[in-house]
Amino acid sequence: MKIREALSELLGERYVAEASGGVDLGPVVHGERLHGGSGPVSLLAKPANTAEVVEVLKLAARFRWPVVPVGGRTGTVGGTETPTPSVLLSLERMNRIEEIDCAAMTVTAEAGVGLQTLQEAVESQGLVLPVDIGARGSATVGGVVSTNAGGLRAIRWGVTRDNVLGIEAVLADGTVIDGLRKLLKDNAGYDWKHLMIGSEGTLGIVTRAIFKLQQRSAPPATALLACSDFTSALALLRRLSAETGGRLTSFELSWREVYDLVAHSPDWNHRAPLAAGYPFYALVEIDGGDAMLGEVETILERLMADGLVVDGVLARSSRDCDDIWATRDDMSPLGRLGPIFAYDVSVPIDLMGELAERVARGVAEELPRARLFTFGHAGDGNLHFVIAPGHGRAGDASVADHVVFRETGALRGSISAEHGVGLHRLAALPYTRTPEELALMRTLKSALDPEGLLNPGKVVPPVAS
């Protein structure tokens, strides 16, 4: 019996389909480098529960077909691409929120639950899921856990890893590892879940997860503040953290080129909150601040008097708030520049300014006609560089990659702060991981997936020949 028939017999005909190069799965949200729809024919399989995931993995192992887990497909590094015929394992039918435990402040959900659906369910109980990302509408629990997503609340509550208490995962040979525990403290041996979190489907399939929750506070205060140099922006971050008693939930920094292009573009559908031309723009959000706008205003006035802020606007209405957030959420003018190369890197917070300068110098020297745009979750040391080469010369992409990764590596930063490695960032790993670290990754991969069937070719670089 061929694998297609075997899968249909197992799951039912309607839950198995042919998928050519991934295009049959629906539109891919735009990411760092879009890859086209040509490719080998794979099989899309949709199990309904963990037991069926186990049987799919056993079948795939028997037919020696790779298994590529698929969540909301919002990942930007080609993690769900299928260079060879594969079983695309979609967990979309595993979409049950199993329990919201208000006493323990936890939520247990299956891997196919959408992030936004989970957030809304939790909020209806007066609690907050600390994990939030821009792609919340499509991203899933399985994808978020498997990529260790960071996102908009990381400055206050950390990344996904900091908020997952337990997971259930299925190994390549079909073994179910049940680590669904609600324990904040648990030092009984290896904490294996942290191997799975962020492993992008290369070590196991995440089928269920328990997240810890936080108390919901009053709506935040939102402001856009202009600074005259990077040192002031960094001092502003520190002072705001201290003076708001740790309630700072966002500190998004845009360099002038980004704000001027985005907020003053004629086809941008929002009101520009501040004038163009300031060197830096910091979008800040303070939890619970809406109820005490007067207090926030006093803090901002003090920061202005001390010269850390040269101009600013505090949102007074939800429309103001939307306009301020649009400077980060609606970057459509960047997308209209033609081909762009986008990067998501991190360095220690105090080195962000130096990294930005080094990259700007490298781009000016090695891609003199290119335009560089810099912004990011600066409160987490996470910077995004967007390079618009301005013309279509072959080889520009690898020059841009080299500049950004070389400078990031030189400061002992990470070539991937949030988006993972997938397929597209594989070649860049040596900029950020030592040969010994890469060897350890290979050892772990071959221990957990000796046949190399789980999301092959992703995350773990082959040994150099």
Ligand X SMILES: Cc1cc2nc3c(=O)[nH]c(=O)nc-3n(C[C@H](O)[C@H](O)[C@H](O)COP(=O)(O)OP(=O)(O)OC[C@H]3O[C@@H](n4cnc5c(N)ncnc54)[C@H](O)[C@@H]3O)c2cc1C
- 118 or 356: whose CB is closer to ligand X? 118
Residue type, 404: V
Q: Smallest distance from the beta carbon of 431 to ligand X, in angstroms?
A: 20
Which residue from 306, 304, 305, 245 is spatially nearest to 314, judged by alpha carbons?
304
Question: What does the alpha-carbon distance between residue 325 and residue 223 come to, in Å, rounded to a whole number?
Answer: 9
Q: By CB under 6 A, which span of 140-148, 172-180, 349-357, 388-396 interacts with ligand X?
A: 140-148
135 binds ligand X (CB under 6 A): yes
372 binds ligand X (CB under 6 A): no
Q: By CB under 6 A, which span of 9-17, 198-206, 243-251, 277-285 interacts with ligand X?
A: 198-206
Question: What does the alpha-carbon distance between residue 423 and residue 327 come to, in Å, rounded to a whole number?
Answer: 30
Question: What does the alpha-carbon distance between residue 156 and residue 139 come to, in Å, rounded to a whole number?
Answer: 21
Question: What does the alpha-carbon distance between residue 317 and residue 327 come to, in Å, rounded to a whole number?
Answer: 16
- Residue 31 neighbours by CB under 8 Å, 6+ apart: 74, 75, 76, 77
Q: Smallest distance from the beta carbon of 366 to ligand X, in angstroms?
A: 28
Q: Which of residues 70-99 bind ligand X (CB under 6 A)?
A: 70-76, 79-80, 91
| DSSP H or E segment with residue 231 | helix 230-243
Query: SS3 for 291-325, per residue?
Result: HHHHHHHHHHHHHHHCCCCCEEEECCCHHHHHHHH
Residue found under tokens 């735009």: 30
Q: Which of 82, 147, 244, 416 binds ligand X (CB under 6 A)?
A: 147
201 binds ligand X (CB under 6 A): yes
Q: Which of 212, 247, 419, 424 binds ligand X (CB under 6 A)?
A: 419
Question: What does the alpha-carbon distance between residue 326 and residue 384 come to, in Å, rounded to a whole number?
Answer: 17
Return the percent helix, strand and coil in the chain, to nearest 5.
35, 20, 40
- 312 or 379: whose CB is closer to ligand X? 379
Q: Which of 59, 100, 105, 133 binds ligand X (CB under 6 A)?
A: 133
Q: By CB under 6 A, which span of 252-260, 351-359, 414-422, 427-435 interacts with ligand X?
A: 414-422
Query: Is 218 in contact with 290 (CB distance < 8 Å)?
Result: yes
Q: Which of 111, 303, 363, 460 binds ligand X (CB under 6 A)?
A: 111
Q: Which of 206, 331, 355, 363 binds ligand X (CB under 6 A)?
A: 206
Binding residues with ligand X: total (CB under 6 A):
38
Query: Is 32 in contact with 78 (CB distance < 8 Å)?
Result: no
Q: Which of residues 32-71 bind ligand X (CB under 6 A)?
A: 68-71
Q: Which of 149, 237, 355, 367 binds ligand X (CB under 6 A)?
A: 149
Q: Smallest distance from the beta carbon of 82 to ligand X, in angstroms?
A: 10
Q: Which of 22, 39, 130, 143 binds ligand X (CB under 6 A)?
A: 143
- 168 or 287: whose CB is closer to ligand X? 168
Q: By CB under 6 A, which span of 35-43, 133-141, 351-359, 428-436 interacts with ligand X?
A: 133-141
Question: What does the alpha-carbon distance between residue 50 and residue 168 come to, in Å, rounded to a whole number?
Answer: 9
Q: Which of 52, 92, 168, 200 binds ligand X (CB under 6 A)?
A: 200
Question: What does the alpha-carbon distance between residue 96 and residue 93 come to, in Å, rounded to a whole number?
Answer: 8
Q: Smallest distance from the beta carbon of 253 to ligand X, in angstroms?
A: 15
Q: By CB under 6 A, which span of 197-205, 244-252, 348-356, 394-402 interacts with ligand X?
A: 197-205
Binding mask 299-338 for ligand X (x = CB under 6 A): ----------------------------------------
Question: What does the alpha-carbon distance between residue 183 and residue 105 come to, in Å, rounded to a whole number?
Answer: 11
| DSSP H or E segment with residue 403 | helix 396-410
Buried b / exposed e over 212-244, threshold 16 CB at 10 Å, is bbbeeeeebbbbbbbbeebebbbbbbebbbebb
Q: By CB under 6 A, which span of 146-154, 215-223, 291-299, 335-343 interacts with ligand X?
A: 146-154
Q: Which of 42, 146, 254, 432 binds ligand X (CB under 6 A)?
A: 146
Site residues, ligand X (CB under 6 A): 29, 31, 68-76, 79-80, 91, 111, 133-135, 138-140, 142-144, 146-147, 149-151, 200-201, 205-206, 418-419, 422, 455, 458
